[in-house]
Amino acid sequence: RFQLGSMRMLLGSDVLVLDHPSSAQPCVSLYVRDPEAMSRCGFLDVWLDNVIASVPHVLMCWHKDAVIQGYMLKRTQDLPAISQFEFSPERIERCGSQVLKWLHTNCTSEASTYWLLKERGDERLQLYNLSALHQFTAGLGKSSADAQSSADSCGGSADSVDATDSAPGTTRAGQARVPERFAFPVAMLCIRAAARLSM
C-alpha cells in the first residue's frame, strides 16, 4: 500500500530487491544501467520505484556494452540531489497528487479501461475511455466495408473513443477519433488485457 497526499493506493512493483534476513545491512534495489544513457528521468524512475516499494537504498551497476564498469550505492533519499540529475521530490509529489485527483474525478465508469496518454514533447495529458473500442474490435476479421457499416450503425467510427473532461494542462476531446498511429497500440492493449483475463 502506498499513500500519496490524501490518497491511498494498492500498487504492484517489479523492482529487484536484495535482502538477507540475518544481515544487519538494509535491503537494496538493484539496477543495471549504462551511465551514458542515464538521465534525470532515469533517476526519477529509480527513485519512484524505491519510494513506492519502501526500499531505503539503491545499488546501481554501471556497464558499457555489457561489460561492468563499476557500482554506486546510494540512499534512496539522496537520489534527488545527485548533480546534473537534480529534481524536487516535493514538486513530484504535488504534481502526482494533482494527476491522481484528476483521474479519480474523471475515471467514473465501472468495469471500464482508461488510457492515459502523454505524447513526447507535449505537456498535456489525454485520458480516453476505451469502452467504445467494442466498435473497433467488432470490425476485426470483417471487410473494411462491413466494419465501416457496423460503425455507422453504432453512430460512430470503428476507432472512436470517449475522452473525459480535462483538468488544467489536459485536453478535452468529446467524441474523439483515435489517430491512426494509435490503432495498433490500442488493439495490442486490448489483446493483452483479454489474455490476462482469460488466464
Using the predicted structure, report yes or no on whether residue 132 has a pLDDT greater than 70.
Answer: no
Sign of the alpha-carbon torsion through 94, 47, 19, 10? positive
Are 97 and 8 spatial neighbours (Cβ–Cβ below 8 Å)? Answer: no
Backbone angles phi, psi at 189, to 5 degrees: -60, -45
**Best CA proximity match to 183, nearest among 147, 146, 155:** 147
Q: Residues 134-185: pLDDT tens digits?
A: 555 555 555 444 434 433 433 333 333 344 444 444 444 444 455 565 677 7
| pLDDT band with cut points at 50, 70 and 90 for residue 109 | confident
pTM beyond 0.85: the answer is no
What integer pLDDT is reported at residue 62 of this predicted model?
92
- Side-chain half-sphere of 20: how many Cα atoms within 13 Å? 4
Backbone φ and ψ for 160, nearest 5 degrees, come out as -90, 150
